[in-house]
Amino acid sequence: MTDLIPALDALRALNPPQQPVYDDPARVDEVVSQLRRLPPLVFAGECDDLKARLAQAAAGKAFVLQGGDCAETFDTVTAASIQRRLRVLLSMGVVLTYAAEVPVIKIGRMAGQYAKPRSKPTETRGGVELPAYRGDAVNGFDFTPESRRPDPDRLLRAYYASAATLNLVRAFVKGGFADLRAMHSWNADFVRKAHVSARYEQLTGEIDRALAFMATIGVDGGEAFRTVDFWASHEALLIDYEHALTRIDSRTALPYNVGGHLLWVGERTRLPGGAHAELLKRLRNPLGIKAGPNANPDDILRLADELDPAHEPGRLMVITRLGADRVRSVLPPLVNAMEATGRKVVWVCDPMHGNTFESGTGYKTRSFADVTAELDGFFDVHAELGTWPGGVHFELTGDDVTECVGGAADVSVDDLANAYETVCDPRLNRQQSLELAFMVADRLSHLEHASRRAPVMPDVL
Ligand code: PEP
Ligand code: CO
C-alpha cells in the first residue's frame, strides 16, 4: 500500500457505518487480497474522460442522465436484462438529446450496484428477526438464516457480475446495438401499447428522416451515429470492496477506483472525516454526494471541501433527493451556499429517494406524480437562482414492472402485486421512464443554456 491510499485497517478503525458484520474475518481478508489481484473493470483514462464531460455539465453545456436498478442482483446478470436496462436508458438519452438539444452524459447505476445501506440492521417477519438484506454483494434476499448471513465470497461474485455486465454493455454501445438508425427497433415491441408511443414514434421518425437526408447529401455521421459513450456508476458503500478496487494508475501514479467510472457516497455514509470520505477523497474518479432533506448545507460544504479541495471542474456531482414537498425549501439554501464558495458542481435531481412510502397493501412504492413534482421543483429552483440543472438520477428498469404508482398507464395500488420484482426500492418501469424523459426534455427545451448561446471567445473578454 502506498501513502497515496490509506491502509484498509485505518479505514476499518474509523468504524464506517453500514458495513456487514462477517463471522469469518479471515476469509474477508483472503477475498480482499484476491480482489486486489483481479484486473480493473474500467481504465483510469475513461474516468478522466467522464470528469471532462461532467465539467461540461457543471458549466451548463451538458446534462446527466443517471439511472438503473436500486440494487442489481446476480440473477439478473443475463443478456436480456442487461439489454433491456440499456435500451431504456439509451431511449431516454435520445429523447433528451433530440428534444432538448443538449449533449447527454449517460451513466448507468449498473455493473457494480450490489450493496445497499439499510435503515434497520435487521428485518422481522412473522416474529422472526434476521439480518436485513444488504445487497447481493453481502447476503441473499431469501428470508432464511443461511441466506441472510453475510458471506465474504459474495464480494468476488459482485466483481465477476460487474465484469460480465460491463463487458456486454461495452459490446452493445460500441458494437452496433446503439446505432441511431436502429432506434425504432429498440422499442418496437413496446411502443404499440404504450401511452408515450405517439411521441416516441414521432421523434424516431424525425430522426430517421434527418439521417436519411444526411445520407442523401453524402454526410456520414460516422461513429457518432453508431456508438454511444456509456459510463458505469455505483454507490461506494463496502469499504473492503472499494479499497481492493483502488489502484495506482500507471500513467499518472495516482489512485483511481477501477470498479466503476463514477462512485457516489450515500446519504447515510457521507460523514465528513468518515471512512467513506477518507477513501473517496484520494481517488481521481469523478464523485457524487447524495444529499437528503435533513442535509445541513455546512456538512455538504465540508464534505465537498474534503473531496474536492482544488475545485476541480467535473469532480463533484451533488445528487439531491429531497422529496416533492421539501425540494422548494431545502434546495435553494444548499445551492446558494455551494455557489457562494465559487465551486461549480453538477446539480443532479434524484426524485426517487425522498418520495418513498408504503402502500396500504404493504408495498414500498413511489408515486409518479411525486417524482414529477420533485423534478418540477428542481427545475424551478434552478431557474430562479440562475443555476444550471445538471441532470437527473432515476431508479428504473427495462422491464414492465408495477412498483411505482401512476404515470400515463396509471399503475394503481392494486396493480402493485402484479409485477413487483425489486429486491430493494421501487423502480420506474420502461413506460414511466420514457414518459419522464419527455417531461424532463420539455423542461430543458425551455431553458436558455450555455451550449445554445453564441460562443464567446476568451480572447475578446
Ligand atoms: C440509493 O441511491 O439507492 C440510496 C440508497 O440512496 P440514498 O443514499 O440517497 O438514500
Ligand atoms: Co434506492
Q: Is the CB of 354 under 6 A from ligand 1?
A: no
Query: Is 3 within the bounds of a domain?
Result: no
pLDDT at 448 over 80: no
Name the band, by pLDDT with cuts 50, 70 and 90, for residue 449: low
Give the dihedral of Cα atoms 186, 192, 198, 201; nearest 10 deg: 30
* Higher local confidence (pLDDT), 413 or 210: 413
pLDDT at 451 over 60: no
Q: How far apart are CA 207 and CA 99, in angstroms?
A: 11
pLDDT at 191 over 70: no
Q: What is the pLDDT of residues 349-362, one digit of tens each?
A: 999 999 999 999 99
pLDDT of amino acid 189? 74
Side chain identity, residue 312: E
pLDDT at 244 over 80: yes
pLDDT at 453 over 70: no
pLDDT at 454 over 80: no
pLDDT of amino acid 319? 99
Name the band, by pLDDT with cuts 50, 70 and 90, for residue 190: low
Among residues 149, 346, 132, 114, the alpha carbon closest in space to that of 245 is found at 114
pTM score, whole prediction: 0.96
Name the residue at shortest CA distance from atom 4 of ligand 1: 266
pLDDT at 461 over 50: no
Query: Is 78 within the bounds of a domain?
Result: yes
The string of DSSP letters for 369-429 reads HHHHHHHHHHHHHHHHHT--EEEEEEEB-SS----SBBTTTTB-GGGGGTT---SSS--B-
Which ligand 1 atom sits closest to the C-alpha of 117?
Answer: 5
pLDDT of amino acid 427? 98
Q: How far apart are CA 204 and CA 60, in angstroms?
A: 26
DSSP character at residue 130:
E
Q: How far apart are CA 367 and CA 115, in angstroms?
A: 25
Q: How far away, in angstroms, is 290 Cα from ligand 2 center?
A: 11
| Total structural domains within the chain | 1
pLDDT at 127 over 60: yes
Cell matching residue 234: 455505483
Q: Is the CB of 16 under 6 A from ligand 1?
A: no
Q: How far away, in angstroms, is 266 Cα from ligand 2 center?
A: 10
390 in Cβ contact with 348 (< 8 Å): yes
Cell matching residue 149: 448471513
Q: How far apart are CA 242 and CA 258, in angstroms?
A: 9
CATH number, residue 154: 3.20.20.70
Query: Is 2 within the bounds of a domain?
Result: no
pLDDT of amino acid 184? 79
pLDDT of amino acid 48? 98
Q: Is the CB of 17 under 6 A from ligand 1?
A: no
What crossing angle do the helices spanning 79-100 and 430-445 adopt, rounded to 10°? 20
pLDDT of amino acid 302? 98
Name the band, by pLDDT with cuts 50, 70 and 90, for residue 459: very low
Name the percent of the chain lying above pLDDT 90: 84
Q: Which of 18-27, 51-60, 188-197, 227-236 is predicted least confidently?
A: 188-197
Q: Is the CB of 117 under 6 A from ligand 1?
A: yes
pLDDT of amino acid 457? 41
Q: How far apart are CA 163 and CA 321, in angstroms?
A: 29
Query: Is 282 within the bounds of a domain?
Result: yes
Distance from the first to the final alpha carbon of the chain? 47
Query: Is 312 within the bounds of a domain?
Result: yes
* Higher local confidence (pLDDT), 409 or 154: 154
Which residues form the domain of 171?
Answer: 8-460
Q: What is the pLDDT of residues 245-262, one digit of tens each?
A: 999 999 999 999 999 999
* Higher local confidence (pLDDT), 2 or 3: 3
pLDDT of amino acid 187? 79
Q: What is the pLDDT of residues 314-344, one digit of tens each?
A: 999 999 999 999 999 999 999 999 999 999 9
**Average pLDDT, rounded, for the chain:** 94
Q: How far apart are CA 402 and CA 174, in angstroms?
A: 32
Q: Tell me what the mean pLDDT of segment 273-295 comes to.
A: 98
Cβ-based burial of 212 (10 A; exposed 0-12, middle 13-18, buried ≥19): exposed
Query: Is 1 within the bounds of a domain?
Result: no
Query: Is 105 within the bounds of a domain?
Result: yes
Q: Tell me what the mean pLDDT of segment 366-377 comes to.
A: 98
Q: How far apart are CA 27 and CA 76, in angstroms?
A: 26
Name the residue at shortest CA distance from atom 8 of ligand 1: 266
pLDDT at 455 over 60: no
pLDDT of amino acid 224? 82
Which ligand 1 atom sits closest to the C-alpha of 267?
Answer: 8
Which ligand 1 atom sits closest to the C-alpha of 109?
Answer: 2
